[in-house]
Homo-oligomer: A and B are copies of this chain.
């Protein structure tokens, strides 16, 4: 008699047959005596159709009405999934974001969940029904529909699991679990049976697309175990859990890469207090997230190069915004390059094993790959390299840190 939150992504509810498979799985859990909350995304293809319509009407669809549009996709899914569960003989009841009392801030398109009053869902469960909840959406304090951004259904599921004190949050997807790296690049990549919240958090923010970063933050904060698994079979997937002692024995848990950043450099600007503030405050005001920042040595000249990365989509806007700062600072120019990739290794074992960075640099050097930028945290090392070397770098690191061997 457990309480399980099951989240199904767009592929897992992408057709009538897939929806019926979801209903079957839900009914099996009910037959075991478990209470089940189902969180669903829009049917795959549906969101793209809506986005196309929006772009045909508006040059840059954003804001309140775009969220009203996109959230209709999940509305279709919850109704069909609830009907399928009913057809399979179990009681079910659907909940939209506002009906599930998922309160968010008012940042349309990337809203953050502020609170959930799960009492209506709990009541449905107490009455023996499966609660089918629309992922990705909430409601702000004015009753407007908000959406949580790409992958937001993961966050809905974990936040609901936290609010309901569920035993587990199962994330059903079209892959078997979380892999040591992208199997399309390294066929020897293997499923990670157990991974720590902190590692997963790094991986999610470093470009692994399995879980939304925010969902892992929620899971870590409320200690909700996540089980990422395939909706196509019954095998175990990957568990995301609080750190366990044995986890430190593995130095590197996974290798991640992200091709969606661009590198921007301000050349020969004065090396003085206040320079970084002048450059970065217009960007933060514009909502542009700066990732890595490095500043070159300036012992000789009193001038320096300032280099940083932003999402590729924000590259042109960023260059335009820092033009003025560059002029005021008397810099010699702005360079930007979108043909870069960030490659990272992650593992809680780094805390107790030294020399991981040295090893990483050696491996890349042997492969003839030049490192443009470096950034580290307690449990990860990231480097920026030319995008064309991405596959080679990932393959070399995956082999060097013995991740192939886990297979």
Chain A residues with CB under 8 Å of chain B are: 16, 19-20, 50, 53-54, 56-59, 61, 64-66, 68-69, 71-72, 75-76, 78-80, 82-84, 86-87, 92-94, 96, 98-99, 143-145
Cα of A16 to Cα of B55 in the assembled complex, Å: 10
Top 6 nearest A-B pairs by Cβ distance? A69-B79, A68-B79, A72-B75, A16-B56, A65-B82, A72-B72
**10 additional contacts (CB under 8 A) given A64-B94, A65-B78, A71-B75:** A53-B76, A53-B80, A54-B80, A58-B84, A58-B86, A58-B87, A68-B79, A69-B80, A72-B76, A99-B143
Write the nearest CB–CB distance from A202 to chain B, whole angstroms.
Answer: 36
> Which listed residue, B57, B65, B143, B145, touches A20 by the CB 8 Å rule?
B57
Main secondary structure of the interface of A (DSSP, over half): helix
Cα of A93 to Cα of B80 in the assembled complex, Å: 28
Write the nearest CB–CB distance from A52 to chain B, whole angstroms.
Answer: 9
Look across to chain B and name the residue whose beta carbon is closest to the beta carbon of A76. Answer: B72
Q: Are A65's CB and B87's CB within 8 A?
A: no
CB contacts (< 8 Å) of A98 on chain B: these are: 98
Write the nearest CB–CB distance from A182 to chain B, whole angstroms.
Answer: 33
Looking at A56, A84, A98, the one whose CB has the most chain B CB atoms below 10 A away is: A56
Cα of A69 to Cα of B46 in the assembled complex, Å: 14
A–B pairs, 30, beta carbons within 8 Å: A19-B57, A20-B57, A50-B76, A53-B80, A54-B79, A54-B80, A57-B80, A57-B83, A58-B84, A58-B86, A59-B87, A64-B93, A65-B78, A65-B82, A65-B83, A65-B86, A65-B92, A65-B93, A65-B94, A66-B83, A68-B75, A68-B79, A68-B94, A69-B79, A69-B80, A69-B83, A72-B79, A75-B75, A98-B98, A99-B144
CB contacts (< 8 Å) of A20 on chain B: these are: 57
**Assuming the A-B contacts A64-B93, A143-B99, are A54 and B69 also in contact, with contact meaning beta carbons closer than 8 angstroms in the complex?**
no
**Assuming the A-B contacts A16-B53, A56-B16, A57-B87, are A79 and B99 also in contact, with contact meaning beta carbons closer than 8 angstroms in the complex?**
no
Cα of A57 to Cα of B75 in the assembled complex, Å: 16
Write the nearest CB–CB distance from A137 to chain B, whole angstroms.
Answer: 11
Cα of A93 to Cα of B54 in the assembled complex, Å: 15
CB contacts (< 8 Å) of A19 on chain B: these are: 57
CB contacts (< 8 Å) of A75 on chain B: these are: 68-69, 71-72, 75
Cα of A82 to Cα of B66 in the assembled complex, Å: 9
Cα of A72 to Cα of B79 in the assembled complex, Å: 10
Write the nearest CB–CB distance from A129 to chain B, whole angstroms.
Answer: 11
CB contacts (< 8 Å) of A56 on chain B: these are: 16
CB contacts (< 8 Å) of A94 on chain B: these are: 64-65, 68
CB contacts (< 8 Å) of A145 on chain B: these are: 96
CB contacts (< 8 Å) of A76 on chain B: these are: 50, 53, 69, 72
Cα of A403 to Cα of B52 in the assembled complex, Å: 48
> Which listed residue, B64, B68, B72, B83, touches A54 by the CB 8 Å rule?
B83
Write the nearest CB–CB distance from A56 to chain B, whole angstroms.
Answer: 4
Q: Are A16's CB and B57's CB within 8 A?
A: yes
**Assuming the A-B contacts A57-B20, A87-B57, are A78 and B68 also in contact, with contact meaning beta carbons closer than 8 angstroms in the complex?**
yes
Cα of A57 to Cα of B87 in the assembled complex, Å: 7
